[in-house]
Amino acid sequence: MKLAYKAYDGLGKSVTGIVDAGDAAGAAEMLRRKGLFVAEVKASIPTEGKKAHGRKRRSSGGQRLKDVAWFSRQLYVLVSSGTQLADALHALERQARPGPWRQTMTSLRTRVEEGTSLAAAMESHGTYFDPIYRNLVTAGESSGHLVEMFDRLAGLKQKQLKVRNSVVGALAYPCMLVTVGLSIFIMLLLFVIPRFAGLFKTMDVPLPSSTALLLHVSDAFRGYWWLILLAVAGGVGSLVACLRTPRGRSIRDAAILRMPYIGPVVKSLSTARIISLLGVLMQARIPVLEALRHVQQSTGNSRYQELISRAEDSVSKGEAMSAAFDDASLINPSVYEAIRSGENSGEIDRLLLTISAFLDEENEVIVRSLTSIIEPLILIVMGVLVGLIAICMFMPLFDLASMTQQGGG
């Protein structure tokens, strides 16, 4: 059974964790053999309770990736300097912020101290350590090159974090512009246009059709805003439910890849991720079929999942893996040729990592270029929209001034 304990080491520092023992007495004896002075042993919190608590405080995907990247780099530095794995995990546990991440560090350290391998200890923390990560740790432990493997993992996670940050940073300003634009439009409909409606009513002048249409839209928005919100919420909910179905995901992924400007960026980022993961796994001597299966699970786009599935079928039949990558709609022909050359030369892992590095540099330029196009486009759309509203509102006033001048003449 799982028992939580509180003890003190030889230096008097407080140590807490979870130990697997038959009863409290057995747990206390086990801890004493490790040189700890036991203060308290009690039943551990049930797993279901921990999971429920973790769901309430679950960190974002970006924060989890940042935590794992930090963990990999720090663990590499500590272990490469000669620190024992359990001691290194204990040091990282003390540095971790309170919450799910520190609980994860505590669990890893406790299980490693009990004699469990690090990869096995990571299996119960799949939200942080995906199958690819655990597989690479297993390969490092079995080959005796865990230090080199952590260096490789640190580089891989840092690269993923860099790509994520560049994409999020590129989208932050356009999203802010869209939010500001929608807010301005809604404020015009709710507060500005109704004032003009009262003015036009007192003037009793014929309104152009565009102005009358805009006034009707404003009235409908003010009178039935709750119905509009319900319709929008229902539409968004239906769309999300549809996109969660296999067919919906397939349609969405295909549509994204066909979008101008956006499609090439998604294609390039997806290709770089697949090539990078394949290169790291194959360099760690993971079997090709197993590597392809893990890469398929980590690929978010269903079109690329189908591509990896075709590669698995080719390898299982004894054919070249590169044959499945001969799809110009998903993989750049130059990338396919490089993979084929790597297979022929027997250095596919090295070539995959070289291609990945090249694609990462190219993607940075592509993302920056896309941002430079989207931002002025949004500003132009916002300007045109506000300008049209202004013209529609002031056109009756111009007509009235023209009629007044003619009447005075």
Point out which residues pair with 17 in neighbouring strands.
Answer: 5
**Helix/strand/coil for 15:** strand
Q: Evaluate whether 65 touches 164 at the Cβ level (below 8 Å).
A: yes
**What does residue 112 show for φ and ψ, rounded to 5 degrees?**
-65, -40
Convert the pLDDT of each residue in 322-351 to its tens digit. 888 888 888 888 888 888 888 888 788 888
Buried b (16+ CB within 10 A) or exposed e, 323-360: bbbeeeebbbeebbebbbebeeeeebbebbbebbeebb
Average pLDDT over residues 248-268: 86
Average pLDDT over residues 307-314: 88
Radius of gyration of the chain (CA): 30
Chain centroid to CA 345: 35
Point out which residues pair with 8 in neighbouring strands.
Answer: 14, 37
Query: What pTM value is reported for the model?
Result: 0.67
The upper half-sphere exposure of residue 79, i.e. CA atoms within 13 Å in the direction of its Cβ, equals 21
Average pLDDT over residues 136-148: 85
DSSP 303-367: HHHHHHHHHHHHHHTT--GGGGG--TTTS-HHHHHHHHHHHHHT-HHHHHHHHHHHHHHHHHHHH
Q: What is the pLDDT of residue 234?
A: 93
- CA dist 359 and 365 (Å) reads 10
**123 contacts: CB under 8 Å, gap ≥ 6:** 134
**Mean pLDDT estimate for the chain:** 81
CATH class of 263-363: mainly alpha
pLDDT at 174 over 90: no
Q: What is the pLDDT of residue 230?
A: 92
Q: What is the pLDDT of residue 54?
A: 42
Residue 104 vs residues 16, 71, 101: alpha-carbon distances, Å: 13, 11, 5
Using 50, 70 and 90 to split pLDDT, how confident is the model at 127? Answer: confident
Two structure tokens written together for 364: 């940075």
Two structure tokens written together for 323: 């044959």
pLDDT at 52 over 50: no
